[in-house]
Structure 1
């Protein structure tokens, strides 16, 4: 990767590349369908972005306004039925050819910019496949889970971790 990438809105036309990156970086039990991704792109408070080098998609973030402490079950088509309280980061993935250039961090920062404009002050996510140390490096901390939330988090895998952080003010960098 040359380091010359742009962060832009994720588009429906990007779904084939999104699905390819997803299959590259996640085990099969975490791979979701194009319908799942499409539902998230169409949510009112969608903060979904792509990192591109020319026409090539290097990475993406799927994030949107959601209810606090209530992640959608893995693989479900999303629809907002209640007030959105937090920015939920559903997925962040960077292709092997895009790794090491800060793409993930920049995608998160862009999502935070839009979330802040929508009035969100907290971000939440489920760290999967041993990614908790990466998210800690971006300022997220593990939060205690119990009951219904614990069951939902375990739906993402036995090594999944529930994490949260304050969305920084606009003049603060992750």
Structure 2
């Protein structure tokens, strides 16, 4: 991903998430600047992004709150997939699978033993097909951060998921 892709990222985000889950352009730019090697785009044509993935080296059982800056772990053991979105026009083209495969290959080559994410918008079954499993027992701060992804209190949807890469 390049800084010039951020306008397309903002468009894709707006097409994929409800207003309560939208993150700012400044946050996206800061994340890309912090860890460009773990941020990807997918496109059907040159000069046009149709999907994106923001991830970063982290520690297992840590959750970044929605809208917060990434904090890189001093000794990471996990690649945290923070945000994956595919524009509606590009769905069914396996963009998400390609992006996640690239991220997991990067994690394995970096010697990370885990990959984690927060599943939202009833996406647990998709992540399950890629080897992620819902997990409980998060530390209290991670549980609080997980709650920042809830769209509404009456419809809990955010689920912490984990995959062992070893």
TM superposition score normalised by structure 1: 0.85
SS at the partner of 1:57? coil
Instruction: Out of 112-121 and 155-164, give the one that drifted further.
Output: 112-121
1:15 matched residue in structure 2: 6
Question: 1:28-51 CA deviation, whole Å, 9 max, x = no partner?
Answer: 111101121122212348411110
Matched, 1:163 2:161: yes
Alignment partner of 1:42: what SS?
helix
Residue in 2 that maps onto 1:148: 141
Distance 1:87 1:81 in 2: 10
Which one of the candidate residues 51, 54, 62 is aligned to 1:59? 51
Q: 1:97 to 1:61 in 2, by over 3 A?
A: same
Q: 1:115 to 1:26 in 2, by over 3 A?
A: same
Q: What residue number does 1:106 align with? A: 98
Cα RMSD, aligned residues only: 1.6
Which residue is equivalent to 2:38? 47
Unaligned stretches of 5+ in structure 1? 1-9, 169-174
Number of residue pairs aligned between Structure 1 and Structure 2: 159
Task: Give structure 1 regions of 4+ aligned residues with deviation exceeding 4 angstroms.
Answer: none
Equivalent position of 1:95 in the other structure: 87
Q: Give SS of 1:88's match.
A: strand
Pair 1:45–1:143, CA change in 2 (3 A): farther
The separation in 2 between residues aligned to 1:132 and 1:20, in whole angstroms, is 24
Distance in 1 between residues matched to 2:100 and 2:76, nearest whole Å:
19
Tell me if the contact between 2:42 and 2:95 (Cα under 8 Å) persists in the aligned partners. Answer: yes
Say which SS state the counterpart of residue 112 (structure 2) adopts: coil
Q: Which position in structure 2 is the counterpart of 1:31?
A: 22
Q: Distance in 1 between matches of 2:35 and 2:94?
A: 28
In 2, Cα distance between the equivalents of 1:149 and 1:64?
16
**Helix, strand or coil for the counterpart of 1:64?**
strand
Which ranges in structure 2 are unaligned for 5 or more consecutive residues? 151-155
| 1:128 aligned residue | 120
Displacement of 1:71 in angstroms is: 1.3
- Bigger fraction of residues in helix: 2
CA distance in 2, matches of 1:58, 1:92: 11
